[in-house]
Amino acid sequence: MPLMVKDIDKIIQQYAPAKLKESYDNVGLMVGDMECEVTSVLVSLDCTLTVIDEAKRENCNLIFTHHPLIFEKPKSITMDTLVGKKIIKLIKNGINVYSSHTNLDSTLGGMNDIIMQILNFNHASIMEHSCVNGESRDDSGIGRIAELKNPITLNDLCTEVKEKLKISHLRYVGKDEKIIKKVAVVNGSGKDYFNLAKNLRADCIITGDTTYHYVSDFNEQGMAIIDADHFGTEWPSISVVANYLKKRIESMGFKNNIILSKVNSNPYKYK
């Protein structure tokens, strides 16, 4: 039997169950048909128009993304909106889109844990545990925090983050000589977790999408912050997720190609 979209859904439900998503989130099959036979899978952080074109070139009729194509239900699907253009283009070309977002962040071995492994922060614990059906789960949640075996200066930590995430630039606040003993990490956008990181006695939080006033206030309170960018803190984990999908599909006896996007890139430019 051929690989079907529903097989990908089954793999993801085992790895990062939809029930682990945050209440505001939208995950799962965004566009397409669970009963559709899969040719090849394109794995990307985002479903952009260029990624859709890439899927066409690579003969991929399934795009797996971290960020949901449809975050809020559209009132209409027309060529007058960007989301409408994408959906129409996908349908015209017979391309399915499946997204796994905060459930993939939260799950054991998911995006949060992958980024901690990449940064070599061992023995991490969960910052905010998932709540499913009113009950807290010990094995999943947003953010990770870890005690460093070898404390490091903020300046040296910035250098290590750049090297390990393979990024050329980052923003940070705090004294360069500040000794960092405990680090909190929230991949993507983490400003909503600054207070929690502070209450957990983190010396530094690594995240992306920070804004001036949040950073300024926490800087005054002695919290060091490293903003390695939303893309920078998530893209390195995407290749790990792509490899996971590849191995799982192969273990099921399928030989479909799993392709990591070559066109999905950080929309920001730096000088």
pLDDT for 73 equals 85
Q: Are 231 and 45 in contact (CB under 8 A)?
A: yes
Averaged pLDDT for residues 249-256: 96
pLDDT for 238 equals 97
pLDDT for 72 equals 87
Q: Are 102 and 128 in contact (CB under 8 A)?
A: no
Could you read off the pLDDT of 118-149 as tens digits, one per residue? 999 999 999 999 999 888 999 999 999 999 99
How far does CA 29 lie from the centroid of its chain?
Answer: 17
pLDDT for 40 equals 98
Secondary structure, 3-state, 80-130: CCHHHHHHHHHHHCCCEEEECCHHHHHCCCCHHHHHHHHCCCCCCEEEEEE
pLDDT cut 90: percent of the chain above it: 94
Domains of the chain: 5-103+234-260 (3.40.1390.30), 108-228 (3.40.1390.30)
Residue 108 pLDDT level (bands cut at 50, 70, 90): very high
Averaged pLDDT for residues 186-211: 96
Could you read off the pLDDT of 71-95 as tens digits, one per residue? 988 889 999 999 999 999 999 999 9
- C-alpha closest to that of 142 among 95, 192, 92: 192
pLDDT for 149 equals 93
pLDDT cut 70: percent of the chain above it: 100
Averaged pLDDT for residues 256-260: 98
Averaged pLDDT for residues 103-128: 96
| Residue 16, CA distances (Å) to 103, 141, 241, 256 in order | 5, 11, 11, 21
Residue 226 pLDDT level (bands cut at 50, 70, 90): very high
Q: What is the mean pLDDT of the chain?
A: 96
pTM for this predicted structure? 0.95
Residue type, 249: I
Residue in the structure block whose two tokens are 């001036």: 212
Averaged pLDDT for residues 195-200: 97
Q: Are 116 and 124 in contact (CB under 8 A)?
A: yes
pLDDT for 74 equals 87
155 three-state secondary structure:
helix
- Work out the angle between the directed axes of helices 49-57 and 82-92 (0-180°, nearest 10): 10
Averaged pLDDT for residues 174-188: 97
pLDDT for 271 equals 81
pLDDT for 1 equals 85
